[in-house]
Amino acid sequence: MKLACSSWSFEQVIAAGQMDQREWLRFCAEELALDGVELLDRHFPSTDIAYLREIKKLCADLYLTICGASVSNDFGRLETAEGQQEMERVKSWVDIAQFLGAPVLRVFAGWVPAEQRREQGRGLPGVLGRLLRREDGARKRLWDEMVSCLRECAAYAEEKGIVLGLENHDGNGLVVTSDEVERCLREVGSPWLRLNLDTGNYGDLASIERTLPLAVKVHAKFYDVDEEGRDRRLDWERIMGILTDSGYRGFLSIEYEGEEDPRTALPRAVGYLRKLMRGA
């Protein structure tokens, strides 16, 4: 396995203007000594060819592999005027990933818009409310449209030699559970659409183990890093055991979503993951 970091981990720092993409890349190389980086669309100040060329060169100079790019599309918005642009957004980032030399582009299935969610189930606690909300007609209709869009995007990505990594995403996402992951990939029916497995979005280890063979990349989610680098919410010893036992050899891309400054939290998390990867 190889260790990377998604720039989403530094979202708040970058959004606050405390760090730009170039500085983040240097931090990943010089402070964290990572193998690779995952570049999120929203953190590019420009996608002009001159800037993309600069970032590609900087990663080479820093010995960082661009293990993937990430586009923040939402195929749940297809029925809106802006939603018609979502497929073009994905295709444009396939082109950018190809230029950068990133073999994988993370994509989303999308979310059911709030105004279309069925009233039944709202206010109900726990699993019952969630299941009722997720069986609404809007979601069923959007599912077919989402599959059609992913199929077209996967065909375009195949032409460019880029693998799409579909992320399992919680909330009111269209693809959340392991059943939905398997169903979506089966219905799209393209070997160029794989899973970008997010370890924090399933909520159970069985789903990680079940869908790991479908994964082209894994998000190593951290929420609350203790003094030793462990996450207080996810059992990374058990997750690492699943990854190791399965023979997973790809990138673990850290996705940190905690309240602590990532510049202080990530060095501990990286050190802890390295220790687990060594089997110490």
**Angle between the N-to-C axes of helices 86-100 and 49-61, in degrees from 0 to 180, rounded to the nearest 10:** 40
DSSP state of 168: P
Percent share of the chain, pLDDT over 70 = 92
Other Cβ atoms less than 10 A from the Cβ of 53: the count is 12
pLDDT band at 267 (very low <50, low <70, confident <90, very high): very high
Give dist(CA 8, CA 255) in Å, integer: 6
**Model pLDDT for residues 160-172, shown as the tens digit of each residue:** 999 999 999 987 8
Side chain identity at 52, as an amino acid letter?
A: L
- Structural domains of the chain, ranges and CATH numbers in brackets: 2-278 (3.20.20.150)
Which pTM was predicted? 0.92
**pLDDT tens digits, 185-210:** 999 999 999 999 999 999 899 999 99
CA angle 253, 254, 255 (to 5 degrees): 115
Closest CA to 222 of 271, 176, 266, 263: 266
